[in-house]
């Protein structure tokens, strides 16, 4: 049996049982669900990345704007109620007047950032906050999350990203550090900062609903795709399995018909061989009876004569006894052959269990096939103790018949090559082991792999059906509930090891 045989049996059982197909549908449903969950997780990651990109872009725009303002030493804007003079800015010419009398106040990068944040909070769903662990303006003090982020920046972190709160009602927060650059020293050198120091950061905050909006828009599409894919593939699988099952059952019916035909053909060949074999003892018995009739007639004539020769009478009586003995011996031989054939034929056409002697079954098979081996240089050696068993004797007989015929045809070239067949049996641990071997031509590597497959034959051009060894395999595994393995090698004959339970 090839290594793939258990898998093949499982697939065959699966195809035959539609109830099992639900397992495949359930498996496909699980795969589809896992795929949806994986894509949903990927979608969450994508939405998170999009939100982080938004925060990063806002930060970069604000930072670039601040650098522009710092590079120009700040900018002036008319002093108004919304833009009063900055009390936290201590630089010369903080407030000036134009020749026309308009009062201007200097807007440094920090003041500009604060005003940008106020504008964005009003016009957009964004809030930006410039902060530091050492703020000049108290309102720029960091909250708890910002303090943790600033501490991380001092340790080398490049940005901090978090979702604060629950679901769509939460907020997304992004923060990146502000490093001291040369234009910044004008205002921050007095705080002890040096070039390259982290002097603070800018946090960007917006509703988490931004992320969930992206997710919800894509999730419905993913769900529809997965549901349609599941329904299509589940329907395709079910329809395909039904079609395959129909073909399998049709092929099985055809195969069973061919197997039964092959079984009857094998039995027919056995009966034909038996008829030829039994003709010899019956013919001898007929000749002996005919001779006895002639001798009886001679005795009658002698007794009708006036004088009877004692020697002649005794001679005829001796001939009559010899003819009777010869006829009886050959008739007994024919009766024994008929009895063997009857047991073998009845067993092979019936699956009923009975008590039997394994040695007797083997002897019956060898005797019924004697005509096929008698005129060949092939000998059959049997080593079988008397094993009293209960079971399917017909299966054992048919297994041996097929193996013997296969050896004669394939191993010994239709009986033209000399060789030996060996049948050895033993009982061990509640099982019977039967080793069948011959020293014939053996099996090729390819034949070794396919020896038990139905319709595999190396003699298709010569009328081989390829069912002989398949029938053997089926009988061993199904009717005897046993196992069979081939241990043959190229050029070393064949060796089949069969074992099955005693009862």
pTM over the 0.95 mark: no
Q: Which residue has the tokens 């053909």?
A: 265
pLDDT tens digits, residue range 153-205? 988 899 999 988 887 788 899 999 988 776 665 565 555 666 767 778 999 99
Measure the CA–CA gap between 132 and 141, rounded to whole angstroms: 6
Q: Which two structure tokens, joined as six digits, stand for 357?
A: 């002697």
DSSP state letters, 353-386: -EEEEHHHHHHHHHHHTHHHHTTSSEEEEEE---
Element (H, E) at 139: none
C-beta contacts of 68-72 below 8 A and 24+ residues apart: 69/107, 69/108, 69/109, 69/112, 70/108, 70/109, 70/181, 70/183, 70/184, 70/186, 71/183
273, 371 Cβ separation under 8 angstroms: yes
Q: What is the DSSP letter of 388?
A: E
298, 318 Cβ separation under 8 angstroms: no
pLDDT tens digits, residue range 20-49? 889 889 999 999 999 989 988 888 888 888
Measure the CA–CA gap between 174 and 211, rounded to whole angstroms: 13
CA dihedral 150, 153, 158, 163 (to 10 degrees): -30
Q: Which residues fall within 8 angstroms of residue 100, CB to CB, at 6 or more apart?
A: none
Q: Which two structure tokens, joined as six digits, stand for 273?
A: 């061989």
Measure the CA–CA gap between 273 and 291, rounded to whole angstroms: 28
Q: Which two structure tokens, joined as six digits, stand for 215?
A: 């997710």
82-96, 147-161, 249-263, 469-483: the lowest-pLDDT one: 249-263
Vertex 278: Cα angle to 277 and 281 (nearest 5): 110
pLDDT of residue 292 exceeding 80, the answer is no
391, 420 Cβ separation under 8 angstroms: no
Three-state SS for 122?
A: helix
pLDDT tens digits, residue range 303-326? 777 676 777 777 777 877 777 887
Look over the chain and give the mean of its residue pLDDT values, rounded to a whole number. Answer: 81
337, 274 Cβ separation under 8 angstroms: yes
pLDDT, residue 425, reads 93
Give the CA distances from residue 417 to residues 376, 441, 457, in Å, rounded to whole numbers and listed in that order.
8, 9, 20
Q: Which residue has the tokens 């050198």?
A: 189
């Amino acid at each position: 049996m090839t290594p793939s045989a258990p898998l093949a049996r499982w697939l065959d059982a699966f195809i035959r049982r539609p109830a099992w197909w639900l397992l495949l549908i359930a498996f496909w449903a699980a795969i589809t669900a896992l795929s949806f969950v994986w894509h949903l997780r990927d979608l969450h990651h994508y939405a998170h990345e999009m939100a982080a990109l938004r925060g990063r872009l806002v930060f970069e725009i604000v930072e670039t704007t601040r650098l522009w303002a710092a590079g120009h030493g700040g900018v002036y804007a008319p002093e108004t109620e919304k833009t009063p003079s900055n009390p936290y800015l201590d630089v010369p010419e903080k407030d000036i007047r134009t020749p026309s009398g308009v009062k201007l106040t200097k807007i440094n990068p920090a003041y500009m950032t604060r005003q940008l944040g106020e504008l964005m909070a009003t016009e957009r769903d964004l809030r930006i906050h410039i902060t530091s662990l050492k703020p000049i303006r108290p309102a720029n003090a960091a909250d708890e999350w910002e303090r943790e982020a600033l501490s991380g920046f001092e340790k080398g972190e490049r940005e901090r990203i978090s979702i604060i709160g629950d679901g769509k009602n939460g907020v997304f927060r992004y923060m990146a550090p502000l490093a001291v650059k040369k234009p910044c020293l004008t205002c921050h050198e007095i705080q002890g900062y040096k070039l390259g120091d982290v002097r603070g950061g800018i946090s960007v905050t917006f509703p988490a609903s931004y992320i969930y909006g992206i997710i919800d828009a894509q999730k419905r599409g993913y769900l529809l795709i997965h549901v349609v894919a599941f329904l299509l593939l589940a329907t395709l699988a079910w329809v395909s399995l039904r079609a395959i099952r129909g073909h399998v059952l049709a092929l099985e019916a055809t195969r069973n018909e061919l197997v039964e035909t092959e079984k009857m053909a094998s039995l027919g060949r056995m009966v034909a061989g038996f008829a030829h074999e039994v003709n010899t003892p019956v013919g001898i018995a007929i000749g002996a009876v005919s001779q006895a009739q002639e001798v009886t007639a001679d005795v009658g004539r002698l007794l009708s004569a006036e004088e009877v020769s004692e020697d002649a009478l005794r001679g005829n009586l001796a001939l009559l006894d010899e003819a009777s003995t010869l006829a009886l011996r050959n008739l007994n031989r024919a009766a024994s052959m008929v009895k063997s054939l009857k047991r073998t034929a009845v067993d092979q056409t019936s699956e009923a269990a009975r008590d039997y002697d394994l040695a007797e079954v083997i002897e019956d098979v060898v005797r019924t096939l004697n005509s096929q081996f008698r005129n060949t240089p092939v000998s059959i050696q049997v080593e079988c103790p008397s094993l009293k068993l209960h079971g399917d004797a017909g299966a054992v007989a048919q297994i041996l018949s097929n193996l013997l015929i296969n050896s004669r045809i394939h191993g010994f070239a239709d009986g033209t090559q000399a060789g030996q067949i060996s049948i050895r049996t033993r009982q061990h641990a509640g099982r019977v082991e039967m080793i069948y071997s011959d020293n014939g031509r053996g099996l090729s590597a390819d034949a070794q792999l396919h020896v038990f497959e139905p319709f595999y034959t190396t003699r298709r051009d010569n009328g081989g059906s390829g069912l002989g060894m398949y029938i053997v395999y089926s009988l061993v595994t199904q009717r005897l509930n046993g196992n069979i393995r081939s241990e043959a090698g190229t050029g070393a004959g064949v060796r089949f090891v069969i074992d099955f339970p005693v009862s």
